[in-house]
Structure 1
Amino acid sequence: MTNRSLSESIFIFLAFCTISLTATHPVAGQDATLLKVGDQEVPLNEFIYLVGKGATSEGNSMGLTREEFEENLALFINYKLKVVEAEAQGLHQTEEFEREFESFKENLKAPFLIKNSLEEGELRKAYSRMQEVIRASHILLRFPPNANTDDSIAVLKMALKLKEEIEQGVSINELAKEYSEDPSAQSNEGDLGYFSSLQMVQPFEDAAFMLQPGEVSDPVLTNFGYHIIQVTDRRPNPGQVKVSHILVRVDEEDPTSEDRARRKISDVYAEIQKPSTLWSDIVKNYSEDPATSQKGGELPWFSVGNMIPEFELAAFSLSEIGEVSPPIKTRYGYHILRLEDRKNLDSFEQLEPMIRSRILRDSRSSMIHTQELAIQKARYGFQENEPLVSLLESNLNSVSPSEFQSKIDELGEQSSVLFTAGGQEFMINDFLAFIAAEERRLPPNAQAFDVWFDRYSSKILSQLEEKDLAENNTEYQMLYKEYRDGILLFSLMNEEVWQKGIQDSVGQRQYFKENRENYQWKERAEALIVKVLDLNRVNEARTFLNGKTYSKELVNNFQTEIADQYPLAYQIESGLMEIPDQAVLSRMDKNLSYQEIEIDGHLHLVLTGEIFPAGSKEFEETRGIVIRDYQEYLDEQLIKKLRTKYPVEINETIKEEAFVALNQ
């Protein structure tokens, strides 16, 4: 096989057949047989789907002429002949094919699955929310250790009481300082600054984005406890900024440090105002941030919610490149900021990988999984054996999976139906076999049966969805077949045409011998052509070349002695060139060894050597082109052989329907 993997080279096939990967819907209801290749019937739908994709990808909305239609049909027939031959050779049964196609199948089915549409919805929602930034304050009330129901109710009641006080006019920031169990509340009074989507846990984000400035949320439950949220501002997302900064640190353990830092930052700020001051020098001399002081104080690009609020507010308040902020105070000390650059929020396509990564790492992934299961259960008639599941929960949740079998034996439920889905029954023994075959561990503090039951039912429902997709989704069926047949075609072409054309040196020489008239040199000349780009330097080149004889040594000398001294003055071309195909040489006087020719407003100095008459090329002189032509010849011979081996019968009536369908 070739050193190029099938996954890389499948697209050669797609281009060969003028088929693109742009999604398009096949024409429904056209499953009549268009043609037969040997004993294999080929439906009209497949032809319309593939040719329709090629037309869509080329932006051809005007339909096909009769000539274009016939060309596409001929290509399609050749393609099907090769696929039939690949199957006859058993190429679809090789390990390499199975491995390659399995990797493709995962990517092919993904866009059609329920999970994908749910993920896409969350991606779009997150990006939509990113168009805004929100400023909010909150109060966090945590649950006591080992909290019981009464404890939870007490915390909820307290949260409701605080909400009521805020709505009656009490400042949320004052209440946060007194009641919030967020450790930062003592310093920020519950003010979280500005944030956007994916910067808070999901329930908190969902609640905040539902509020308008001034509104207060109901208690919001997260893994941290109950939150009361008040939004104080909403504004368009300002995008990203790049700033550099000067930092003067404050040592909290030294009571005199604050005053010294404040005086120092004031002196630095006064120094910056002097016209002769260089920012980079000031940063290097005075900044106490070791990570940035030697590189101009520059920080990476950041967006809202990525820096501490005071620093962020100052950075986004700068509007002009080079603008410097007054000194600001943060918990790290005193800063002076300079704006280096700013840009708008990136496009959805640019941010999609980041958004997807974050969504699949946070609680949204569990929510998507829950929604996926619910849709699958409804679609495939999932019915669990509720009494049995309850019995198993009470007996298996507190034991390890290795004990499931013995516990189930004790219960006498070895042959019971666990659930039904897709018209099939799934037994407890199937469930136990699934656990035995899996190598995944349980998450910490997990309820053993619940986790494994979810995993098993998820797998069964996913299998049912994939089966449904393969049997009932026409577009997926077409795409599936397109890739399968494409890999087969590539495998056949690689063995019968591409590699054979490269490796068969005897065949190459025989082909060259039989077609020698196609490999001819036109009249050629040894030449140095100097295109003069700077006419102020024409005399140096003219003096060097006039009266000389062409040689490779002279070309090298001209390069080193003249051209390298004035790299922008000349453009050089040299060597043995075919005269009719070279724009300058085609106009030269063959009786002169040195001449000057002007073309398109540029002067060319031309020095020629020996002139060779037209004649036949030697094999080694054109081997690459011969191999290409030999491969095309092998392809033509393969098609001829296959047309004899597999007679093609075309249903002319259905063919006309195809022409009409492709021109609608």
Structure 2
Amino acid sequence: MKHKIVLGLLLFLQLGYVKAQNTENQVLFTIDETPFYTDEFIRVYNKNLDLVKDNSQKDLDVYFDLFLGYKLKVNKAYKIGLNNSVKYQNELKSYRTQLAKNYTNDSKVTQNLIEEAYERGLVEIKASHILIMVDANASPEDTLIAFNKIKRIKANIDGGKSFEDAAVDFSEDPSAKDNKGNLGYFSVFRMVYDFENQAYKTPKGKVSEPFRTSFGYHIIKVNDIRTSQGEVTASHIMIVNKPGEDEDVAKKTIDDIYQKYKQGETFEALAQQYSDDKSSSSKGGVLQRFGTGQLSSEEFEETAFGLKNPGDVSEPFKSQYGWHIVKLIEKHPVKTFEESKFEIENKIKRDDRSRVITSTLNEKLKAKYPVKTDKVFYDRLKSYIPDEYYKQTWTVSKEQMEGYNRDLLTIDNKAKISGVTFINFVLDQQKVSHSIKPIGTLVDNLYQKFVERELANYYDQNLESEFEEFKFVMNEYREGLLLFDLMEREIWERSKTDTIGQQQFYLENQKNYQWKERMVTDIYSSTSKDDLLKALKYAKNKKSVDFIKEKLNTKENVKIMVQSGTYEQGDKIIPKGIAFEKGISDVVQVGEYYFFANTSKVLPAQAKELSEAKGKVINDYQQALEANWVNELKKEVTIKVNNEVLDAIKKQLKK
């Protein structure tokens, strides 16, 4: 039920909120001098206007009483300290974290990345590359050396040297000697984002200019571009060459297995018995579904995608991993954008392109909030961090830490962050292996990350003041969770377990729990009047329901349906025209169906037993307890209503 409250609040968020128009925000009422304002009342009333099913709740006087009762309950929850429970605090924190994601991610940038990824996923690129490795944090000197190397290679290719020969001669990718730089076909999310960007920007048959990724400097040649093949689910049998064994042995083994398959043995049984891929053999050779570029074997992928129909089996073929036979299980075409966008967004969060979102937010926050650093203090802190930091052995004593406890960073002329906070950040980052040198440059780099973290924290902590909508929704969460805990404790549990109270309430309100006239009956129906008349004849001869159904229905053709039970007058299951009387009725037609009823008993209108009305009794008892409780709450506090303001709101909202 608590989750239903939260879902309801999220629904309200999606519907948006309506701010007060023409009415200045004023105090509407106070509870023990705590003020409650017109803007919240108007916003909540407008927001819920189309959601309430009970029209009486749309009446402004009724709604005001409900709103006042709601605030009285929340006030009680705070008084008894429900807001101090660890469970409540954790749940509220969790909800806030989820809600804040809508404000801490740049939705426009995210949407652009989703659309870009989907469009790229519609095609596959076959490319070759040449790599000159250089660390992402390499010194300027080493970076320049690597850059000049890749420039010379590009110049050689422009001068007529083939890309493949250049890859063999110069590329520092270990696989280049064998594959001449060929990466095969790949699609979106298969390569690091910087590499993917260049691949999709380079025209077919052309060679890119040098560019950098986290691995080093590259140049790319795009060999082909084709429409995406989607994904496939396939199974395989693999035989590998054993160390010291002649290659012909593996070839002979796979040929023998293929012959056994052609003789009628099942692919799955052969995979279980003979395949050297133990991760899939126990499952009959079934692999996880895959797309182009996922298996690091162009031969395998081309063979699998080349099979046309589910159940098709390839002839034996060789890859760099061994000999295979592949069976196609299912082809999965490219999904629509609507089907893909949630999955793509999750991939973006795990992919290095998420840096684009973070970077955009960082730039916005730097422009939004002024940042000031105590430069003299920063230089002093910087000088305290020694080269032993690289060995991950640097420590700071308690006495030293006390000396760092002064303001280092100021954000938005409000938030003050101490040197202690920065030093703790640096100590935490010591767990990571760093290659940026010298130590001063590394500390400057860490300080930049620290400032970005503190800006993000400051922004997150001030979402309520930055976004009125966020403030309102968080207040609804806060009060909604409190109200749930309070109601469960004061009303819901009691209404379910207080059997004496339930009995007394039932006796006092028995007139509300009455049966109308009922009949115990079997209602026969059919789209064929002739078939129904046959059933009618059997019924008049006192044949049972089971006998009639067995005589008229077959597995292939159900001619007669029967609904048996005790039905109250006005029940929709009783066809119009069927009289409330004992015996067999006449045949009536309603739409395309024909009906008759065989009624064994007619029960008069009478009071329900408590057991028969228990669900409604508990619900009504709960509402009565709540109403009485609210009246008691009113006696515990001093309520002052600004009737003049309330009248003005009524006039405004009735326009």
**TM-score computed with the length of structure 1 as normaliser:** 0.77
- Aligned AA for 1:487? L
Q: State the match for 2:471 in structure 1.
A: 477
- CA separation of 1:205 and 1:72: change in aligned 2, threshold 3 A: farther
Residue 32 (structure 1) aligned with residue 25 (structure 2): yes
Letter in 1 for 2:493: Q
Counterpart Cα distance in 1 of 2:459 and 2:197: 30
Choose the corresponding residue for 1:513, options 502, 507, 511.
507
Query: Does the CA-based 8 Å contact 1:118-1:372 persist in structure 2?
Result: no
* 1:587 partner SS: coil
The number of residue pairs the alignment matches comes to 626
Q: Deviations over 1:332-383 (max 9, x none)?
A: 3254554733322354564535643x44445445565555444433322112
Q: 2:648 aligns with which of 629, 645, 653?
A: 653
Give, in whole Å, the separation in 2 of the partners of 1:112 and 1:147. Answer: 35
Task: Say yes or no: does 1:135 pair with 2:133.
Answer: no
CA distance in 1, matches of 2:649, 2:460: 32
Amino acid at match of 2:74: A
Alignment CA distance shift 1:36-1:393 (3 Å): same
Report the Cα offset of residue 28 of structure 1.
7.7
- Residue number among 5, 30, 35 corresponding to 1:10 in the alignment: 5
Q: Measure the CA separation in 2 of the matches of 1:37 and 1:483.
A: 22
* Counterpart secondary structure, 2:131: strand
Give the CA deviation at 1:311.
2.8
- The secondary structure found in structure 2 opposite 1:590 is coil
Tell which deviates more after alignment, 610-619 or 372-381: 372-381
| Partners of 1:13 and 1:486 within 8 A in 2 | no
The CA deviation string for residues 84-129 of structure 1, in whole angstroms up to 9 with x for no partner, is 3421452563415433322222222221125777666555543443
Cα–Cα, structure 1 residues 643 and 152, in superposed 2: closer, same or farther, change >3 Å? closer
Question: What residue in structure 2 maps to residue 21 of structure 1?
Answer: 13
* 2:619 alignment partner, one of 622, 628, 640: 628
Pairwise mapping of residues 516-531 of structure 1 onto structure 2 (< 5 A)?
Answer: 516-531=510-525
1:428-452 Cα offsets, whole Å, 9 max, x none, are 24545x569x988722347795687
- Aligned in 2, Cα 1:186/1:55: closer, same or farther, shift over 3 Å? farther
Structure 1 residue aligned with 2:93: 102
- Verify: 1:75 aligned to 2:58, yes or no: no
**1:441-590 pair list within 5 angstroms:** 442-445=431-434, 453=447, 457-531=451-525, 548=542, 569=558, 571-581=561-571, 582-583=573-574, 587-588=578-579, 590=581
Deviations 1:515-537 (A, max 9, x none): 21221122233334454689999
Supply the distance in 1 between the matched residues of 2:60 and 2:156 (Cα, whole angstroms): 75
Return closer, same or farther for 1:137/1:265 CA change in 2, 3 Å cut-off: farther
Q: 1:371 to 1:588 in 2, by over 3 A?
A: closer
Q: Which runs of 5+ in 1 are unaligned?
A: 59-66, 272-276
- Does the CA contact (< 8 Å) of 1:540 and 1:562 recur in 2? no
Give 1:233's aligned residue.
224
Q: Distance in 1 between matches of 2:567 and 2:173?
A: 79
Distance 1:184 1:12 in 2: 52
CA distance in 2: counterparts of 1:27 and 1:353, whole angstroms = 35
Aligned equivalents of 1:114, 1:267: Cα separation in 2: 58
> Is residue 86 from structure 1 mapped to residue 77 from structure 2 by the alignment?
no
SS at match of 2:409: strand
Report the equivalent of 2:158. 167
What displacement does 1:583 show? 0.8
Q: What does residue range 417-432 of structure 1 map to in structure 2 within 5 Å?
A: 417-424=407-414, 425-432=416-423
Cα RMSD for the two superposed structures: 4.7
1:219 aligns with 2:213: no
- Aligned residue type for 2:503: R
Residues 563 and 367 of structure 1: CA distance in aligned 2, closer, same or farther (over 3 Å): same
Letter in 1 for 2:148: K
Matches of 1:154 and 1:238, distance apart in 2: 41
Tell me the distance in 2 between the aligned counterparts of 1:260 and 1:133.
Answer: 35
| Structure 2 counterparts to residues 275-294 of structure 1, below 5 A | 281=266, 289=275
Match of 1:389 in 2: 378
- Say whether 1:305 aligns with 2:293: yes
d(CA) in 2 for partners of 1:166 and 1:12? 60
> 1:301-340 alignment to 2 at 5 Å?
301-307=289-295, 308-317=297-306, 329-331=318-320, 332-335=322-325, 338=328, 340=330
Separation (CA, whole Å) in 2 of partners of 1:165 and 1:251? 42
Q: CA deviation at 1:461?
A: 2.3
Q: What's the offset of the Cα at 1:475?
A: 1.6
SS state at 2:13 partner: coil
1:203 is aligned, of 194, 200, 205, to 194
Check whether the contact 1:579–1:586 (CA below 8 A) recurs between aligned residues. no
Separation of aligned partners in 2, 1:124 and 1:362: 15
- What is the letter of the counterpart of residue 20 of structure 1? F
Judging changes above 3 Å, is the alpha-carbon distance between structure 1 residues 255 and 300 closer, same or farther for their aligned structure 2 residues? closer
Deviation per CA, 1:139-197, whole angstroms, max 9, x where unpaired? 122359x9876554443222111112223343212222232232322332211122222
SS in 2 for 1:22: helix
What is the aligned partner in structure 2 of residue 345 from structure 1?
Answer: 335
CA contact (8 A) 1:33 1:654 kept: no
C-alpha distance in structure 2 between counterparts of 1:588 and 1:523, whole Å: 12
Q: Distance in 2 between matches of 1:392 and 1:256?
A: 68
Q: Which residue of 2 aligns with 1:61?
A: none
CA contact (8 A) 1:35 1:43 kept: yes
Amino acid at match of 1:50: V
User: 2:528 touches 2:594 (CA, 8 Å); kept in 1?
Assistant: no
1:286-320: per-residue Cα shift (whole Å, max 9, x none)?
Answer: 99646767977654432222232233234445566
Q: Give, as a single letter, the amino acid of the residue that structure 1 aligns with 2:366.
A: K
Contact 2:204/2:225 (8 A) holds in 1: yes
Q: CA deviation at 1:495?
A: 4.1
Describe the shift of the 1:450–1:53 C-alpha distance in structure 2 as closer, same or farther (beyond 3 A).
farther
- Asked whether the equivalents of residues 238 and 324 of structure 2 are also in contact (C-alpha less than 8 Å), the reply is yes
In 2, Cα distance between the equivalents of 1:88 and 1:148?
63
Secondary structure, aligned partner of 2:387: coil
Residue 67 of structure 2 aligns to which amino acid in structure 1?
Y
User: Which secondary structure state, in structure 1, belongs to the residue aligned with residue 14 of structure 2?
Assistant: coil
- In structure 2, runs of 5+ residues without a counterpart are none
Report if the CA contact (8 A) 1:194-1:304 is conserved. yes
Q: Is the 8 A contact 1:533 1:571 kept in 2?
A: no
